[in-house]
Amino acid sequence: MRKISSAICLFLLVGCGSSEQQPQASDAADQPSATDAAQAASPPVATAEPVAAPKRPLAELIKENVAGSEAAWGAKDIKKLGALYTQDAGFATWGMTGAKEEKGPEMLKGLEGFWAALAEVKLKTGRVIQSNDLAISEWVVTATTQDKKTLGVSGVSLMWFADDGRVKREQLYMDEQTTGMQMGEKSLRGRAPISAPASTEWVTVGNTADEKKNVETIKALYGALDKKDTKAFEGMLADDAVFSDMARPEDVKGKAKIKDDFGKFSKAFPDLKLETKQVIGAGKYVVVEGSWTGTMQGQLGPLKASKKNGTIHFVDVFELKDGKVAKLTTYSNGAEFAGAFLPPPPAKPAAKEPAKDAKPQPATKEPAAKK
């Protein structure tokens, strides 16, 4: 029985086939090639992402901007100068009516008008102090007017930079009265034309112990000024210290004369109060942006007491040596001082107009020439 049953099973397997279908050989075209198999076995190759260019240091971009500005001024190229500012750049100055805020296009339009009055013009930067995205640039503009007058005016710009090296905000301090005087306005007083610096000094904030010590020295100096403490003030000055107020015709030299100058100013403005907006130490320099407020209650040089109260904005650049002030350069606008404390200039008399009821006079006949 076992053999019969085995035979039946064999018959069923061979003759009738199994209930499961056996795989059949496929055509050669359907068989995967060796290359396809290798590709299937290999992982996909990742596509390389484009490598971004390394970000350039902002200090390097600031140097390029300063050089570009000098070139644009020399060429009177307002388009090239405008490209150095962001589209929404802000521009601030202080003058006869106080603070003035402009956008880039307004500033450039005004500058273009100034350039039109000049036969040639150059801008040269003497010193740049950088603190992160802020660059404090001391510069001199030299020029020749169309009527052959010579200009040499200094100023300082506080410029905040975007990551791409363009200026996003500038605050400019210079004396407009000096510019007006040099251009021929006899009623104004200011400095004689100065020469352009031969080179540019670059200083970067290092946050060193000496820089911090210098900052504390200058803060103490402003404290002495506020308290009218002439002895403490004098003690912070080097014997041969120089005070250069760029809104005044001449420097004050020597700590005794500087002390005396401060004393006269304190008498004219006995309620003088100083406010510092920022104090930055860099190397041997300390830069202060601030303002002072007071009432002109006494005479100041040829200027009589006006009893007017006002505020003046300034930038002070201190140079220290051995812990004492060797030089102080002040940038402010004499026009702001005049607007705040001085009476308005007398109005110019209007030209006389002929009376409305006046009758025209008959023309006088010339006598006939004798033959």
Per-residue pLDDT of 281-335, as tens digits, reads: 999 999 999 999 999 999 998 899 999 999 999 999 999 999 999 999 999 999 9
Whether pLDDT at 187 is above 50: yes
The per-residue pLDDT for 1 is: 41
The per-residue pLDDT for 119 is: 95
- Residue 173 CA, chain-centre distance (Å), reads 10
The per-residue pLDDT for 319 is: 98
The per-residue pLDDT for 355 is: 58
In angstroms, the Cα distances linking 114 to 92, 124, 218, 247, 344 are: 17, 17, 37, 20, 25
CB 289 within 8 A of CB 130: no
The rounded mean pLDDT for the chain is 86
Whether pLDDT at 50 is above 90: no
Per-residue pLDDT of 232-282, as tens digits, reads: 999 999 999 999 999 999 999 999 999 999 999 999 999 999 999 999 999
Give the torsion sign (CA, 58, 60, 61, 62).
positive
Return the domain boundaries, the chain: 58-204, 209-341
Tokens of 302: 């040829």
Average pLDDT value for residue range 42-71? 83
Per-residue pLDDT of 144-173, as tens digits, reads: 999 999 999 999 999 999 999 999 999 999
The per-residue pLDDT for 23 is: 43
What pTM did the predictor assign?
0.80
Whole-angstrom Cα distance, residue 8 to residue 10? 5
Whether pLDDT at 42 is above 60: no
Whether pLDDT at 10 is above 70: no
CB 163 within 8 A of CB 58: yes
Tokens of 125: 């930067």
- Among candidate residues 290, 226, 225, 284, the one with its CA nearest the CA of residue 259: 225
Any idea which of 14-23, 229-238, 352-361 has the lowest mean pLDDT? Answer: 14-23
The per-residue pLDDT for 297 is: 96
What is the percent of the chain with per-residue pLDDT over 70, rounded to a whole number?
A: 79
The per-residue pLDDT for 25 is: 43
Whether pLDDT at 133 is above 50: yes
CB 233 within 8 A of CB 221: yes
What is the band of 104 on the pLDDT scale with cuts at 50, 70, 90? confident
Whether pLDDT at 5 is above 70: no
Q: Domain 58-204 belongs to what architecture? A: Roll (3.10)
The per-residue pLDDT for 41 is: 56
Whether pLDDT at 369 is above 90: no
Whole-angstrom Cα distance, residue 236 to residue 230? 10
HEC secondary structure over the chain: CHHHHHHHHHHHHHHHCCCCCCCCCCCHHHCCCHHHHHHHHCCCCCCCCCCCCCCCCHHHHHHHHHHHHHHHHHHCCHHHHHCCEEEEEEEEEEECCEEEEEEHHHHHHHHHHHHHCEEEEEEEEEEEEEECCEEEEEEEEEEEECCCCEEEEEEEEEEEECCCCCEEEEEEEECHHHHHHHCCCCCCCCCCCCCCCCCCEEEECCCCHHHHHHHHHHHHHHHHHHHCCHHHHHHCEEEEEEEEECCCCCCEECHHHHHHHHHHHHHHCCCCEEEEEEEEEECCEEEEEEEEEEECCCCECCECCCCCEEEEEEEEEEEEECCEEEEEEEECCHHHHHHHHCCCCCCCCCCCCCCCCCCCCCCCCCCCCCC
Do domains 58-204 and 209-341 share one topology? The answer is yes
The per-residue pLDDT for 4 is: 35
Place of tokens 């040099």: 182
Place of tokens 């299937």: 40
- Residue 209 CA, chain-centre distance (Å), reads 27
CB 342 within 8 A of CB 306: yes
Q: Domain 209-341 belongs to what architecture? A: Roll (3.10)
Whether pLDDT at 64 is above 50: yes
CB 341 within 8 A of CB 271: no
CB 287 within 8 A of CB 279: yes
The per-residue pLDDT for 344 is: 80
